[in-house]
Chains A and B, each alone.
Chain A
Amino acid sequence: MKSSLAALGAGIVFGVGLGISGMAQPAKVLGFLDVFGAWDPSLMFVMGGAVIVHFALSRWIRRRERPLLDAKFHLPTATRLDKPLIIGSAVFGIGWGLGGYCPGPAIVSLGSGALSAFVFVAAMALGMAIQYLVRMPRTVSTVAERLAEPTDMPSALRASAAGGGRSSQEHAPLPDGHDVGRGLDVDGGVAVHEQ
């Protein structure tokens, strides 16, 4: 209950921040990205404001032994610069520059009823599903097996499926590519990241 309310509250604050910052206006975002045209620099202040506040607060929060409502922190541990990181970020940037939406503002815009936001979020979900299905190796049978993968394995099972708690800094390629695009996530919501 407390946990759900905290999540809901944080989501509302995050969403209001995105909304008033101008990030949910594709026209403004594209103006910000148009550095060779009529550049609108105001969105630099969004990242500026967010980084100043979160840099200071997160330093203080991470001194705690554990978060308030969870047994431990779930922070990313990967440090390696690899191809999926670069290629994925490059592809994301192309999409952001085409549509003017990044994931957060698009989801906030669902609440405004904008048709473009619904189209974007549906396509984004599809893009994520495609990325999940085509992670190496790209064979038909593997894709079929992925589709049949259970979605709610207990975390112990997940850890063994993802390489027995192997740290994602080690680069030995996993036979089924499980750490590509998922294990190296910034969220660390995947079992391989749990310390």
Chain B
Amino acid sequence: MNLIDSYGLSLLGGALIGLAASIVLLTHGRVAGISNLFGGLFLPGYDARFFRLWFLGGLVAAGLVLSVIHADAFSRTGVPPLAMVGAAGLLVGFGTRLGGGCTSGHGVCGLCRLSRRSVVATLTFMATAMLTVFIVRHVVGGPS
């Protein structure tokens, strides 16, 4: 796929994400932050468990449909080794609950509300993610 198509799909995908976040705000009055929606399924002290379940079910359903009609949406190569993915999952789970959000909650919804906390969170995770990739790829020269 050439670069222009890739940019176009990214922009269109982003617009759909923004649209979906707006539907959640309009219908349920909530922030479409995935780490919160997921954590609130099973951690004590969260509300709206049915809403969470249906929304996350929609995410999985979308993945199921895309894997049939647009399998390019998912990488078959270049995925880090499973042990690294597992370690990454632990850090993402811990970090998003401590920091109160991820790329969707802070990076999209928070920025749109002009939340100072979300601006700082987004700059922070972008910076540490880029630094991590730099170390893994160019200092350690590890996998991927």
Contacts and interface: CB of A to CB of B under 8 A. Distances in A.
A94 B128 contact: yes
A14 B90 contact: no
Contacts of B98: 84, 87-88, 91, 131, 180-181
Contacts, number: 565
A105 B129 CA distance: 16
Interface of chain B, main secondary structure: helix
A119 B62 CA distance: 19
- Classify chain B's interface size: 35 or more
Contacts of B14: 17, 21, 45-53
Contacts of A90: 95, 99, 124-125, 128
Contact of B97 (A72, A99, A106, A182): A182
Interface of B: 3, 6-7, 9-40, 42-48, 50-51, 54-67, 70-71, 73-75, 77-80, 82, 84-113, 115-118, 120-122, 124-134, 136-138, 144
Interface of A: 3-28, 30, 33-37, 42-55, 57-58, 61-62, 64, 66-70, 72-76, 78-81, 84-104, 106-116, 119-132, 146, 149-151, 153, 155, 158, 161-162, 180-182, 184-191
